A and B are shown apart, each in its own frame.
Chain A
Amino acid sequence: EPEVTQTPSHQVTQMGQEVILRCVPISNHLYFYWYRQILGQKVEFLVSFYNNEISEKSEIFDDQFSVERPDGSNFTLKIRSTKLEDSAMYFCASSEALGYPAQYFGPGTRLLVL
């Protein structure tokens, strides 16, 4: 069965550094998403992406964050200058169309900012 993949599985970085989290969505999917889960808390929506632009973003997704689909397969989340509070699990998801929820999430990247 097709699946969403994410790399790296874990990342440790120093505060103020830039990080790029990578995702490979399911190949025929058109909508892409990033979610965040701070340890012990609920999963929160960050951003959705369609047709090479952001379709929706939450208040969490400020100017420090950006997303990109640099080629036909990858979908990336960049955090420009990481803060301690960016430490979380980041999940990627994809869906084929509106009305088809992105019910399959990638395995997540656990980001730790020191």
Chain B
Amino acid sequence: AQKVTQAQTEISVVEKEDVTLDCVYETRDTTYYLFWYKQPPSGELVFLIRRNSFDEQNEISGRYSWNFQKSTSSFNFTITASQVVDSAVYFCALSLYNFNKFYFGSGTKLNVKP
């Protein structure tokens, strides 16, 4: 069975602090995809990144970076120099190659205070 765990329910930081959101996944499949989504208060799901299971290269996009480690089944997301606009719920998700449907974590609510 597939499972995504986001142990941090809520995190509060002060603007300009760095913050890391943790994601641990479980699957026996060897081919899968991992995702991060941002859900602002307006409710839509904003796609941030996709990683396939064969690509463990870390990625940086502006203030965002992702650390994928198969050895620990983790796909962590770091926001550098956080801003108030980063305040949202962030979801980690897993999708298997032949099934396409998503398994979402329970989300981490990030509060960035000015």
| Cα–Cα distance between A56 and B98 once the two chains are bound (Å) | 12
Q: Is A48 a contact of B44 with CB atoms below 8 Å?
A: no
Q: Is A107 a contact of B44 with CB atoms below 8 Å?
A: yes
- Residues of chain A having any CB pair with chain B under 8 Å: 31, 33, 35, 41-45, 48, 56, 89, 91, 95, 98-105, 107-108, 110
Across the interface, which residues of A come within 8 angstroms of B107, CB to CB?
42
CB under 8 Å from chain A, chain B span 56-89: none
Across the interface, which residues of B come within 8 angstroms of A31, CB to CB?
100
Q: Is A98 a contact of B43 with CB atoms below 8 Å?
A: no
19 contacts between A and B (CB under 8 A): A41-B106, A42-B107, A43-B102, A43-B104, A45-B101, A56-B101, A91-B45, A98-B97, A98-B99, A99-B97, A101-B35, A101-B95, A101-B100, A103-B33, A103-B35, A105-B37, A105-B45, A105-B47, A107-B44
Across the interface, which residues of B come within 8 angstroms of A100, CB to CB?
100
| Cα–Cα distance between A44 and B106 once the two chains are bound (Å) | 10
CB distance from A53 to the nearest CB of B (A): 15
Q: Is A110 a contact of B50 with CB atoms below 8 Å?
A: no
| Cα–Cα distance between A61 and B95 once the two chains are bound (Å) | 19
Minimum CB distance partner of A107 in chain B: B44
Minimum CB distance partner of B46 in chain A: A105
